[in-house]
Amino acid sequence: MISITVVVPAKNSAVNNITFRSHAEKVSIDQNITGLIGNNDIPLTCSFIIEAWENMTRVELFAKNKTDEFIDVKPIAIFKPNEPAKLISAGSYLSGRVTLTNITSTSTNATLTFHVLKCEDEKDYMCKCYYTDMEGASLPTEKSPPTRISVQKVTIETSISATAARPGRISSIIVSSTKTEIQGLKSSICNTSLSTKKNDILTIPTSPIDTVTITHLQSTENLQFVFREDDTIMFTCSGNIGNPPGKLIWQKTFPQEKKPITYSNETTYIEEIPGKCSFKGTSHLTVKIYAEDIKAKIRCFEESQVNVPGMYIETEPFDVHFHVRHTTIHMQPKQERYDKKINKITLTCSGSGNPEPTYIWFKEDNKRNILSRTNLYVIEDVVQNNSGVYICEANNLIDDINYRQTNSVNIYIEHATIIVISGICAVVIIILTCCAVKKGYCSRPNRHESDNAIYDEVKQQANLEYKLTNLHTLVPTENVVYDDVSMESSMNYRY
């Protein structure tokens, strides 16, 4: 017990002792009250002490929500000595289901009794007493510590406290679609909802607008979410968020243990659940869909249940349609030039898209002739006639629109004849050069015969070139066989 003793000298020099009790002792309120929802007489009593030298002028009773502060609220009821106790505007919600006790100048209690307890009565309460001295001067106001009334609902099985539960439903709506931008279609918004009840799927058409479309889904056990890349989707989650009301949190989860994306800034709209001492929360998440979102899921849960297994609701994995892209060609073997030594050339085409792309192959100089209808084409005959630009065309179909992307590769196959003839010419030139050098150093021509010798040499060279030309014409394109070429020259030189 804490007390303060003040010594006040009197006129006759006698000493009067005045004891002031501590704040906690002077005003108090019933603590830890638990009531059942419905017709119950639950008293809430404020107790106070009036000293001999003071008057109590009024008692005020306050109530606040668990997340508020008492300093920010107004009293719900006022008790004044020798006057009827009354509810004021802040306590008008209690009208008709509570009674107030009247107090006198000597009363030490003021009581509010709940005859019909409701969920909204689960609040924090506090009372405050106002005093004056015998001459009417105001004394410090005294207040009680806070207390709380907990309201519970009783069922046949058990009593249920107002804790957050697994959300009850996720629904989606396409608010912007690339399909309407391409096709210029008009369609209606359709809500697609997924509830925690098995087979509970709802599709509701609403007013038509110009920029929205959706794939209508069948009512099956597992709801499929089929979107197009760049669609903008609004998801809605609702469910019991407890009392005091919590907040709904969103996540986008991915397969293969990729880190989820958490959305925690979306507003949760709150409304009371009648008769259940709890609140329903509704939240909206608007996201843009990307090709990378294939197999992703949208998950919703109340924030206090983040680490509780199974206390969330989520969509089925997304199926995201996107047009073909990233078409590439792989050559095996990969060379700049090919010749007869290569047995075959394998061309492989690949691209990404959903639905999976289909492929066709053709040459640039004959686009009507389809070489292959798969992603693979093999050049079995590696000859010059099969040189050229080979084109792969990848296609996929989305909402009756065909998307196409092509890529090409230039295959150059060298002609075998050109290689052989080039070799022959080189050998001949070397032979001629050697002969000319030999003749110049080993023979001394006569001056009178020099003109005839030069003429004969030129003639022989011309004949040799003529034979080589004929040989070029007769050589086969694949296997070239040729005879050895020899030269003899006898020249007489005169001095």
194-234 pLDDT per residue, tens: 443 333 332 222 222 222 333 333 333 345 688 999 999 99
Query: Does a cis peptide bond (omega within 30 degrees of 0) precede residue 244?
Result: yes
Task: Tell me the CATH number for domain 323-411.
Answer: 2.60.40.10
Question: Which pTM value belongs to this model?
Answer: 0.53
The string of pLDDT tens digits covering residues 124-161 is 999 999 999 999 999 999 999 999 998 876 543 333 34
Measured distance CA(123)–CA(75) in Å, rounded? 13
Q: From the CB of residue 280, how many other CB atoms can be counted at a distance below 10 Å?
A: 19
CATH of 21-154, one of 2.60.40.10, 3.90.226.10, 1.10.1030.10, 3.30.1490.190: 2.60.40.10
Q: Assess whether the region 21-154 and the region 323-411 belong to the same CATH fold.
A: yes
Structure tokens at 74: 């107004």
If you average pLDDT over residues 458-476, what whole number do you get? 51
Give the Cα-Cα-Cα angle 146, 148, 149 (nearest 5 degrees): 150
Domain boundaries, the chain: 21-154, 169-316, 323-411, 416-474
Is the pLDDT score of 263 beyond 90? yes
The CATH topology of domain 169-316 is: Immunoglobulin-like (2.60.40)
The string of pLDDT tens digits covering residues 95-107 is 999 999 999 999 9
State which amino acid sits at residue 276: K
Distance (Å) of CA 83 to CA 79, 103, 110: 7, 7, 12
